[in-house]
Amino acid sequence: MPKVAIYCRLSEEDRNKQSESDDSNSIQNQKSMLLKYSLEQGWEVFNVYSDDDYTGSDRNRPEFIRLLQDAEHHKFDIVLCKTQSRFTRELELVEKYIHGLFPVWGIRFVSIVDNADTANKGNKKSRQINGLVNEWYLEDMSENIRSVLTNRRQEGLHIGAFALYGYKKDPDQKGHLVIDEEAAAVVREVFTLFSQGYGKTAIARMLNDRGIPNPTEYKRLHGLRYQQPKRKNSTLWKYFAISDMLENEIYIGNMVQGKYGSVSYKTKQNKPRPKSEWYRVEGTHEAIIDQDLWNRVQIIIAQRAKPFDVGTVGLFARKVRCANCGYTMRSSKNRGRHYLQCSNRHVAKDACIGSFISVDKLERIVIDELNRLSEEYLDKDELERNIQFCDSLQAQKKRIQDDLTAYEKRIEEYSKGIRELYLDKVKRIISEQDFVEMSKDFSAEKERLERVVKDGQHQLFELDARIEDGDNRKALIDQYTNLEHLTREMVEALIDYITVGKRIAGVKDPPVEIHWNF
């Protein structure tokens, strides 16, 4: 008896599931029809291959691939489908398999409804026409879907399967995003840390040390069916996750979509699109990051500052230029000391004289000039009367306190859940093994939140100390008018750029010219 392989497929568009765990009614109907036909023909059923929720243009259907592998090894004699389009809608695959490899492998192809049968030499043209019609169907459907999605993007409606980390889909308004406060707090912290001079890798390390799940793991923990990458340490924050976050305009309330486009309707492969072709609509949803913080971060990114030390941006990164050639001086390190030198002097012979200065020396020159200017032009008494303190620190303190209240509430919920599970175990409602499995996730999340709370309490302690110090106006003013050290924030705020020339023989310091922002 000839052996037959039955292949069934259902796409999402005609899905009619009874439950998530059951095959659809349509799949069952296909199976019943094809099994009955096989019995009538006197064929022995080798296997039933069934792909549910896959389109006819998808070449990566798991059962489809398994069917082709078994066909190549000649485990059966016939492939039987309801229609040719259930096997494939692509004319290319019709020619490759039905008219090409199947005859080579000794496999007959039969579809019931449209009477395709490779044993019948006379209906090859009919099979080719079926393939061409299915190809046109795919192309038209692809164009229609693309047109609908383009219109929605142009209107600023979110069309992705998942909201960007920091947001969630609005349950009351399709295509609208609302803030997910738990994730948004992490987003705000990332932007703040970067604006304060922390590098992207250092920020990722800080989040990982505190046990904060990365965006993909966060989605999984919140029950979203997000496909987790099958890589080692795929739940950890990485450099590129921080980098992408810092440049995403969605966090300031603008909807930006269409960064990638499909190569063809025949494949799921995407490629980057030029920025001019992106769909950008301003003010579509509430911003997580305020405009001032966003602008500061973008300036630092545009400067492409190299790490000066582990976890920090260089004190004068992208701020110092060679007086001879105008090129930005780059940082280097020798015997524990940091230096700035003209990068252009290595490009070609005699390209530049090669300006050079140590970071410590340049910092001392800038501080001396700042102190001279403050002594000459600042009225300290007037400054002491008018200065305002602690506004931003108080706001930051309130945000951390609100976060801690929410975290502590969730810790109590997890503790309550563990206690209730224990009582169910004592009452023998659940088994010992079920108790261990169910309480494990609760305990892990509770411990993570406890670490977050502990870290937040430490931040509050430091903020209180800074606020208390701020009440001493005279001491604070003296601190910033009689400087001993610079910070990256001071350099960003005060200095436009600095030029450094070649040191003249017999002179202690090279010529330095400071261009201020005021």
- Span 239-264, pLDDT tens digits: 778 988 999 999 999 998 887 766 55
Q: Do 80 and 39 meet the contact criterion of CB atoms below 8 Å apart? A: no
How many whole angstroms separate alpha carbon 152 and alpha carbon 175? 8
5 pLDDT higher than 90? yes
Q: What is the phi/psi pair of residue 489, to 5°?
A: -60, -40
Nearest 10 degrees: Cα torsion 121, 127, 129, 132: -140
Average pLDDT on 368-375 reads 82
pTM of the model: 0.40
Q: How far is CA 302 from CA 115, 212, 246, 318, 322, in A?
A: 63, 28, 12, 10, 19
How many whole angstroms separate alpha carbon 518 and alpha carbon 502? 27
146: number of CA atoms within 13 Å, CB side? Answer: 12
Average pLDDT on 417-437 reads 78
Average pLDDT on 188-209 reads 87
Q: Which of 140-154, 185-199, 350-364, 496-510 is the most confident on average?
A: 185-199
Assign 291 to helix, strand or coil.
helix
- Span 140-195, pLDDT tens digits: 556 665 666 677 778 888 887 788 999 999 989 888 999 999 999 999 999 999 88
Helix (H) or strand (E) segment spanning residue 502: none
